[in-house]
Amino acid sequence: MTKQVHFGGRPVWVEVSLRAITKNLDTVRRHVGPRLEILAVVKSNAYGLGAVPVTKALERAGANRFGVTCSNEGLELRQAGVRKPILVLTGFWPGEEKRFIDKRLTPTVTRVDDVRLLERAARAARVKSKLRFHLKINTGMNRLGILPSELAAFANALADCRHLQLEGTLTHFASAEDFSARQTDDQEHLFRECLERMHALGISPGIVHMANSGAICARPSTWADMIRPGAILYGYYQSFDPPRKGQEVRDQLPLEPSLSMRARIITLRDLPPGQPVGYGARFTTERPSRIAVINAGYADGIMRQRTNRGCALVRGRRVPLVGAISMDLTTLDVTDVPGVALGDIVTIYGKDGNAEIKVSDVAREIGTVTSDLLCALGRRVPRYYL
């Protein structure tokens, strides 16, 4: 059991293993080989684990580039001293162009009009070298990216730009983990057709990248020039389990979970049978029960969907979560834990003795994806980097 102390007035904290994260990066590197570039996706505060310390660890460990959602996330990394290229994956809002130039952030073009906006900004800034950008092509996700039918218009717009350089071309898969449907195969085929069309138009696509975590694990044909690992860097598959159908055992990567979330018992209460617990009396004792309270709730990342579902670990034993998960507090039935005491550590995610609760276990319980749970970790929960 961890001996981690807590700070900040509330006995709840998260432990992040930077060693596990860098080990997962090495696992991915060995899986795809040394030739490919790795763009580590550290968006949404590195999936809730802390963008700055995680990115710095990955930079030291040899990640080639980083992917973020917006310019603010990129700016945070630059201010922290991250020097390697940072790609803003979801494009930019008109008016942000100068910030990209000043902070050396790489924009993603998702509309043909974006090209003209970037050219105008680069010309006004009198950049000494061309402003590099990546082009996103919509192959079936139908969120961001130019349509295949717009490639000629993009080529015409780019031909008028003397201050821009197309550094890379990408697409994004909607169902990389799903081997029961053809969507990913169709997207890959369409993307390759678009690359051929670009060559025919006299445009070099630069660094070609399309493989997210699911595709990295199981679809080698999608690896191209660069891969974009996200959840697997943190030790988790996006869905409940690694993709299985259509892949060999060797493609199920030996990932190491990087997150532990813990709290301490702040109250113990002995209740007779028939007593309600928590909001709405969602749980009623059926026997003489010992109920423990921890100072963490859905504002901290214990999802409310876990009300009367799932468990935590106390003294190496699984104990059920009982009653409604509230904003700041969660209740557990510790009746069957001998010697349970005030101040005992409760493990919400992570290991305690021989027992373990993984984020993917909880994702399965409530029917969501692992990144949903990681990103739900509250800002008021202190992170400790091991």
User: Under DSSP, is residue 263 helix (H, G, I), strand (E, B) or coil?
Assistant: strand
Query: Which DSSP string do the residues of 190-257 spell out, in sequence order?
Result: HHHHHHHHHHHTT----EEEEE-HHHHHH-GGG-TTEE---GGGGT--SSSS---TT--GGGS-----
- Of 214, 205, 258, the residue nearest 234 (C-alpha): 258
Structural contact between residues 8 and 382, judged by C-beta atoms closer than 8 angstroms: yes
**How many other C-beta atoms are found inside a 10 Å radius of the C-beta of residue 72?**
11
Q: Please give the structure tokens belonging to residue 23.
A: 């080990």
Known catalytic residues are 43, 279
The residues with which 311 forms a beta bridge, in sequence order, are 320
Structural contact between residues 74 and 105, judged by C-beta atoms closer than 8 angstroms: yes
Question: What is the C-alpha separation between 58 and 192, in angstroms, rounded?
Answer: 30
